[in-house]
Structure 1
Amino acid sequence: MGHSRLLLLFSALHCSISAVTVIPLTLNIPKPYESDAAPVTSDSDLLSKLHTGSNLSTEPMFSTYTWEHNNKIPLNGTYASQDSFVRGAIDASAKHQHLVIQPQDVWLTVLKQLSFYLRKHKDDKEVAENWDNREGKATPSHSGLFLRDLARYTRDQFNLRSKADWMLEWARPGFTTISQHPYYMIQNSTEELMANALLMSSPYPSTEDMPAFPCKNGFPSITLNGTQSDWKAILEKISSLEKFGKEPKLYGRLLHAVVSRFVQTFDNPNDPATRLFWNNMITITARQNLCSSTELITGWINAFHMWTPAGNLAITAAVTTASEAVQLDGITFPWRHAKDTPIANSHVPMCVDGDSPISASSPILVGMLAKSVKQGKPEGYEAAMKLAGFTLPSTVAESDHSILQPLPIWIAHYNATGNCCTPDMERTGRC
């Protein structure tokens, strides 16, 4: 009995660890972060960088950049980055940055991908039984726009579309890494608002260059924030993807093979198999170790991009030689060129019904829209290096270490047209 209690206590303590740091099997020397792009200086600047080449407005109303990041900009800065979990990981590996990942980064990336599929396959039986992709036109009940209005709006619109009583809780990223904001007078976190909005979003074309990067790339370390239970929760959520059809079921298989190893990392981060797994996040092929630069992404990070913004399969053929491809749980993972990684702005249309005869069109831009870079080492780096038996060369300075972390962000902004017509306006003859 005592032994069993000890095991239960150990298990409880183990699951409550708030972060784990792992060193890849290959020693990667940290380098100072360099970027051709300048860090963003405001939410307007962020919008302008994300909306390059589009006719969408860059006049923000409210954003999580302003409220949550403006006073916490790290030493190196915050950079615009579409789909920053995937593209941020590629950037961190290319530039030898420590990478920090949160559970919500992964889950919001999955929901954005699923939104592409739901829009194209809205008439499929499995989708139609659970989700209605009609455009919602509900309007906040009073003038002005606050976070509580956005939270209510996205929740109500989600409930209008959802035909399954499990979906609202399923989409909710209720991880320990998410802060609640009672002073905003809502129950939701901003990430919950984003999760609801993403499944209802419409993709808008976007561009973001991904230049070739050094073949000998890699992370000095990877830190998974949150508890092991947080990552197990994502595994449970992934199992429900099959309810939407065959392609989402395949997506779930790819994700399960990857995220299950996120979970296992907490058990023994220094295990060679675990460290090899993190080695293979971006590239793996032997020939890539012989070149000077590449744009070929052959690692398991490709598992997170299943569909293009149009809802078509984004999976390409496996690397020609099976031994050069990432294989997990009997699955050979796809490869793609960096320029072919799916990218789109995700917007949720919304009308703000004010006192004037004309209401404002205020779409919400939502997703993994930025990455932060700050100097320093992750908290568990030194201990993980000691376990791995690695020692950095004496030429590596403290200032050579930088941490890259993806950032979920939403921005409510004015539409370029400036006007919209709501059902209330139609009924009262104001359109």
Structure 2
Amino acid sequence: MTMMFKPGRERYVPLFVGGDIVAQSILNEFVPFLIENGFTPVIYLPAYNPVKGAVSASVSPARHTFKKASKASKSMVLPDNPEIARFLKLERKILDEAVFPFLKQESCPDAKMMTPHQLAQKYGLTIKDVTNVNAPEFLDEIRSLKAKGLAGALSIRCFQIFKKPIIDLIKASNDPAHLDPETLGPGEPFFMNLHPGRLPQYRGVFSTLRAMADFARAASLYYFGATLHDVNTGIDTGLTYKMKGLPIKSDESLYAHNLRLVLVATKLLHEFVSEWQGLSASTNEMKEGIPLHQQISHAGDKAEYFTNPTNGEMDEMKAMGIRLASVDEVKTALIERYSVPGSDHAKRLEKVMDRWIADQGIDPGQDYAGPARTVAAFDRGPSVRSARRVVCGRPPVNDPGKPPTGTTGGRIALRV
């Protein structure tokens, strides 16, 4: 099998990154890893433009099995439930509208994380906002990267749906002999999506919240997780590379669960790129590539597609004691990542967030079905900056933690 890359040729990897705290945490971990392994990340920030009440005519509800959700859409649909809308503000909008503008004026070199523009500046990377990933002019952008040397692309909680033209363009092979759809051969351009949930059981949105609800109903050991899969024209239906999981904790909010997902999600990306890298670096002809597996539904599970939770579902989840996010835990998590707790910088950042929260009409004391809980300290891992000047306060605390060695039990065993 012929090699796609020659010595000295660039290896660009477009990263389509969502604006939520989970995607931004993964980005901070993953960019240094890619660079250390000889890749050139290109950061794309697709716009989050949900459509209120809209359903794409190109998707037939008959294609999916639904649990309480009546329709599927290829458009991001604005949630009708006020609690879900509040959560999305705290998980996504607060970064773009409050935290990042503040950090543009007042950065903190001692912070554990950087904004995407700070990352791009530090490593000399291209970063662009993208209104529509399927627009003809954006396809021209991808063609220019492909001409220079495109290793593949990764979607990390991207807020837009990719259509056939851009998928085919990114995955187009330089080796017409490679026709096996169930393996990714040496040098084959990849296009993978990091889905924040188990597949196929939790397709669609709010996968972790659905798993938390199932855990509460079953009252037994249960897992949430992340799946790295090939991008195709369906929604979360591509062949799976690998899945990793963590146990659900009844005392944690959805926000806290999502933050815990960063560790296993980043590990998935590292493993995939390392495997692809090793395969492509071989100078020998290879008969097998990276295996991509069919998604097999486990006993008792159905391949669901989930839309935003309904008002009835949210009432049920609140009655179960499931919490989405408190203002305090969100502010704590963001200060831990983008500032130094206790510093003057952190106090100014908190004031900015407080003003934004008040402007959004969010009640800081509203926490639904349980007391506020502080999110655990962020696990930096090995790939983020190890040394920093102490400028905006005291030195940051390093809590490296340990990745889980394995998980089994409940309804499914997940590889970690």
Q: TM-score range by the shorter chain?
A: under 0.3
- Choose between structure 1 and 2 for higher RCO, CA contacts under 8 A separated by at least 6 residues: 1
